[in-house]
Amino acid sequence: MVALAQAEPAVLPGMAVSIEHVDHSFDLDGQVLPVLSDVSLDIQPGEFVALLGPSGCGKSTLLRLVAGLDTPKSGSIEADGLPIAGPDPSRVVVFQDPTLYPWRTVHDNVALGLQAQGLLKSHRHRIGEAISLVGLDGFAKAFPQQLSGGMAQRAALARALVNDPRLLILDEPLGKLDSITRISMQSELVALWQRSNFTTLLVTHDIEEALFMATRLVVFSGRPARIKADIVIERPYPRHRSDPYLTGLRHKAMELLGLAETW
Amino acid sequence: MSMCWADPMETANTLVLRGGAKAAPHRTIPAVGTNYAPWYGGLLAGLAWLAAALVTGAWDDVNEWTYTAQLAAIEAAIGGVLLAVGLAGSLSGPVLARVKTSGAWLVALGLAATGWEAVTAKLMWLPPPFFVPPQGLLEAYLDDWPRLFECAYHSIALLGVGFAFGAATGFVVGVSIGWSRAAAYWGHPILRLIGPLPPVAWLPVAFFLFPSSWSASVFLIALATGIPVAILTWSGVSSVPSSYYDIARTLGGKERFLVLRVAIPAALPHVFVGLFMGLTSAFVVLVVAEMMGVKAGLGWYLQWAQGWAAYGNMYAALLVMAVVCSSLVTLLFKVRNHLLSWQKGLVRW
């Protein structure tokens, strides 16, 4: 296991991900529904890549493939040069729903990964650190149903970060939050990514969110998803939403998504 | 059971106290002073029980019962205590608080004892020997308590062994069927076929298949418990959202972890529904088995007392059985509340 082999956390480099000619489809009642069509993407260690595309186009499917939860029908996905054979705690997913276990406290939910890998005894101190990192101090003993949507998503983030992932996979993690919480958590996520070295892969259908957070924007077509554009966002952090450069990119992204007439 | 985190009464009290000088602090001043008020419920209950004592003691039985005087003494003692508590009025304490909330019941019970006594021992409106006055039950308890005690012990032991076997087997079967395709392939049709059969229907088969009536009864009780536990555990495991497994898998959880740390805790609320159904079903089988073949236990005692026309003993055993069953259900509730305390505030408790 990668996480076990490399013991010291903070110095781990981010993961390089190489997606090559991936095709994927679902079988629905005997009918083949193509979801991904010839997707190739090279992600460098430490990058923050946002995947943008119309709803239901197959971005989340691509994330599941990278997470190792599903296997592509054809093509290959490699993490640091090794083919992805299944899920691994070095590649952690935060889903749109926090999916905390209701029978576990925040502390025990965050402890999940360490417990699953048998690292609970040696790495117990990391649980408190992760809870602090996401700003949930004092809520360790709370049960999920006592948390607000934003707090639950923070707990889910802590549950991911406690494993020291080298690739953080975010599947619309802020999609269900109210706009105020969403905006503040965007900055917090960027700060977390800057402090650590992990590579981040973010699926979103919020153009502004993608431009505010990512170093690179990949725009997909509708289903089956094909890469339409791959744009590097050359702007330092902290970014400003009113930045004319970002506004220009936003216009461009809307054109790519076929929404130019709303500009 | 309260679902609230803060006691609303407590909050209200603090608010009143904070409200200012008008709210006088409530002190308990026993029996003297202007604040004295008797607890009328207690007084009424005391009078009702004294009436029962009077009817029992001062009015002659048609056919004399052995323990009439003792019953009158007990009723008088209860009446006296209730009267004293009623007169003390504003005395308080944890035990008394419990007593006070059941004031209406205490009055009703006193009146019921009076009426029961009158229509049986005193007037004989209800025909003996089928209807027994309260002293008939008292006689059964005082004269036959060793046997009753032994029977209760046998019943609880039989039920405990059978229930434990059944619950454990049902749980393992349910988890296996819910988790593994192979187990579902073989287990599902069997459960479908056998599940709806009332466990009592196995009685004749069990009694010749097993070496002793005791082991046959254990089997039947285990069956009665195990089937609902298996079905509910299975449905609990199969209704766990797949996203729970995705989370555990990406965090490095292997199959063992997914079963023990995800599927089972997520299914536990269902398992408890199965346990409650199983316990109720086990009571039925226990009593029937004891009536049909086992030579001990409360079911056997009921049958034995009836055959012997000792109806007082029969009612006494029935009451013991009710107390035992209801205590076991309460115990299971306590276990559930402890294990599933996380559900507070999530479901109506």
pLDDT of residue B30: 53
pLDDT of residue B97: 80
* pLDDT mean over B72-77: 96
CB contact under 8 A, A163 and B251: yes
* Nearest Cβ partner for B265 among A86, A103, A113: A103
Confidence class of residue B347 from pLDDT cuts 50, 70 and 90?
low
* pLDDT mean over A130-147: 93
pLDDT of residue B96: 79
* pLDDT above 90: residue A205: no
Contacts of A103 in chain B (CB under 8 A): 265-266, 268, 340, 342
pLDDT of residue A29: 85
- Domains of chain A, CATH where assigned: 24-90+165-263 (3.40.50.300), 102-164 (no CATH)
Contacts of B249 in chain A (CB under 8 A): 69, 86-87
Confidence class of residue B75 from pLDDT cuts 50, 70 and 90?
very high
Q: Which fold would CATH assign to domain B134-343?
A: MetI-like fold (1.10.3720)
**Nearest residue in A to B267, CA atom:** A103
pLDDT of residue B38: 86
Among A9-13, A203-207, A257-261, B252-256, the minimum mean pLDDT is found in A9-13
Contacts of B342 in chain A (CB under 8 A): 102-104, 143
Q: What is the ipTM of this complex?
A: 0.89
Alpha carbon distance A246, A22 (integer Å): 30
Summarize pLDDT for B218-234 with one digit per residue, the tens.
999 999 999 999 999 99
| B326 and B280 Cβ atoms separated by less than 8 Å | no
Interface contact A176, partner B, CB < 8 A: no
Among A145-154, B162-171, B291-300, the minimum mean pLDDT is found in B291-300
| A195 and A14 Cβ atoms separated by less than 8 Å | no
Contacts of A104 in chain B (CB under 8 A): 265, 342
CB contact under 8 A, A93 and B250: yes
CB contact under 8 A, B243 and A92: no
The dihedral over CA atoms of B116, B117, B121, B123, expressed in degrees to the nearest 10, equals -80
**High-pLDDT (> 70) share of chain B, %:** 88
Domains of chain B by residue range: 34-122, 134-343
Summarize pLDDT for B264-274 with one digit per residue, the tens.
999 999 999 99
Site from A96, A101, A117 to mutate, B interface, most B CB atoms within 10 angstroms: A101
* pLDDT mean over B106-112: 96
Contacts of A115 in chain B (CB under 8 A): 257, 261
